[in-house]
Amino acid sequence: MQHLLNLKPEELAAWLAERGLPGYRAAQIRRWPIQSPGIDFDGMSDLPKALRIQLAESFQLWTMSQVARQQSDDGTEKLLLEVAGGDRIECVLLRDQRGHRTVCLSTQVGCAMGCVFCASGLDGVRRNLTAGEILEQALRLKSLLAGGERLSHVVVMGMGEPLANLPALLAALETVTAGEGLAISARRVTISTVGLPKGIRQLADSGVQYHLAVSLHAPDDALRSQIVPANRNVGIAAILAATDDYFARTGRRVTFEYVLLAGVNDRQEHALRLAALLKGRPSLINLIPYNPVAGLPFQTPDPGRVRQFQETLEAGGLAVKTRYRKGNRIDAACGQLRRSRA
């Protein structure tokens, strides 16, 4: 059965029209899962009983089951969810001092990109998530918020490569940003990609002002192809051409993420070359000290090294932030909970 949230509002209206029912019911129906996560069709009290039965016969509303919920004392919460077919995905709720409430969503079961330091891709990709499954993660996480809290940001930085599943992602984000959906401004939605130039251009074509983050992780192709194998068929030059284009068309400054792996890409020469590569581009560098993954051979640089790397970039004229790490103790990063429960 089809996930109700896989249908766009106009598709649901068409389904109603086929049954001789008025189109305004579509908005009524869709309001329920957005405002009352966990609701079933029978609980949609403003709909005629017959319609509730028809809906229940045609659609499923919540298609995932919660396998685990973990909480960290910094306010981070993580859900391990089982999707139809039995595979598992993860999603995270992050809370910060400024009052930001951010959900981190997955777009695929596993990942095909094969970044050597990342837990999500260790077993390859199983399948794309549907729009409904992507949205369901956001709604489930939203339901964990307390009375005074409001969901403010979405980051698409969970499992999977978002631009390899762009149609489903864009459909889910339409509801995230719609006034009658979660009403989160597109500027507060960040899509993080390994750097697929075609996908970056398609994203710009969509005409929506999402924030784009690109996982660069190295200042040259030789090193990048070692740690981000997807780079072998792409190359940094093509990625930067696409991000330049993204900025030109959307006016949105692109973020470049850079995972710091001790002894691999964290030396002074790497910082200098990275500064030269990005100089003059309106961008932000996001340094992410490696988050250890069981069984992988990498190490986190010590804080002094991270600081020096940041200072070198700043001296080169770049805007830099080091990502504050959250939820480490609950395996809240990068496909780790799924592995620890496998």
Tell me the backbone φ, ψ of residue 122, rounded to 5 degrees.
Answer: -60, -30
Annotated catalytic residue within 111, 115, 118, 334 = 334
Binding-residue pattern over the window 228 to 247 for ligand SAH, x denoting contact by CB under 6 A:
--------------------
Q: What's the CA angle centered on 221, arms 218 and 224, to 5 degrees? A: 40
First-to-final CA distance of the chain: 27
Q: Please identify, using beta-carbon distances, which residue of 8 and 267 lies nearer to ligand SAH.
A: 267
Which one of 133, 290, 310, 313 is in contact with ligand SAH (CB under 6 A)?
290
How far apart are the C-alpha atoms of 224 and 113, rounded to whole Å?
Answer: 13
Which one of 90, 133, 257, 266 is in contact with ligand SAH (CB under 6 A)?
257
Which one of 29, 93, 131, 157 is in contact with ligand SAH (CB under 6 A)?
157
Annotated catalytic residue within 90, 133, 136, 257 = 90
Q: Closest distance between ligand SAH and the C-beta of residue 255, in Å?
A: 10
Q: Which stretch binds ligand SAH (CB under 6 A): 8-16, 141-149, 266-274, 290-298?
A: 290-298
Q: Is 161 in the site for ligand SAH (CB under 6 A)?
A: yes
Q: With CB under 6 A as the rule, give the number of residues binding ligand SAH.
A: 18
In angstroms, the Cα distances linking 42 to 29, 52, 137, 279, 331 are: 11, 6, 22, 58, 37
Binding-residue pattern over the window 12 to 51 for ligand SAH, x denoting contact by CB under 6 A:
----------------------------------------
Q: Please identify, using beta-carbon distances, which residue of 210 and 290 lies nearer to ligand SAH.
A: 290
Q: Which residues have C-beta within 8 Å of that of residue 11, sequence separation ≥ 6?
A: none
Q: Closest distance between ligand SAH and the C-beta of residue 308, in Å?
A: 19
Q: Please identify, using beta-carbon distances, which residue of 204 and 228 lies nearer to ligand SAH.
A: 228
Q: Please identify, using beta-carbon distances, which residue of 32 and 290 lies nearer to ligand SAH.
A: 290
DSSP 78: E
290-297 long-range CB contacts below 8 Å, 24 or more apart?
290/117, 290/259, 290/260, 290/261, 290/262, 291/325, 291/328, 291/333, 291/334, 291/336, 293/117, 293/118, 293/119, 293/334, 293/336, 293/339, 294/336, 294/339, 294/340, 296/116, 296/117, 296/119
Q: Please identify, using beta-carbon distances, which residue of 77 and 161 lies nearer to ligand SAH.
A: 161
Q: Please identify, using beta-carbon distances, which residue of 59 and 70 lies nearer to ligand SAH.
A: 70
Three-state SS for 111? coil
Q: Please identify, using beta-carbon distances, which residue of 32 and 117 lies nearer to ligand SAH.
A: 117
What token pair was written down for 303? Answer: 């804080």
111 is catalytic: no
Q: Segment 313-342, which members bind ligand SAH (CB under 6 A)?
A: 333-334
| Spatial contact of 104 and 91, defined as CB atoms under 8 Å apart | yes
Q: Which residues have C-beta within 8 Å of that of residue 279, sequence separation ≥ 6?
A: 316, 317, 318
90 is catalytic: yes
Q: Segment 76-135, which members bind ligand SAH (CB under 6 A)?
A: 113, 115, 117-118
How far apart are the C-alpha atoms of 242 and 260, rounded to whole Å?
Answer: 24
Q: Closest distance between ligand SAH and the C-beta of residue 4, in Å?
A: 27
DSSP 301: P
How far apart are the C-alpha atoms of 321 and 206, rounded to whole Å?
Answer: 28
Locus of tokens 């995270």? 92
Q: Segment 169-228, which members bind ligand SAH (CB under 6 A)?
A: 192-194, 215
Residues that bind ligand SAH (CB under 6 A): 113, 115, 117-118, 157, 161, 192-194, 215, 257, 259, 288, 290-291, 293, 333-334
Q: Which residues participate in catalysis according to the annotation?
A: 90, 334
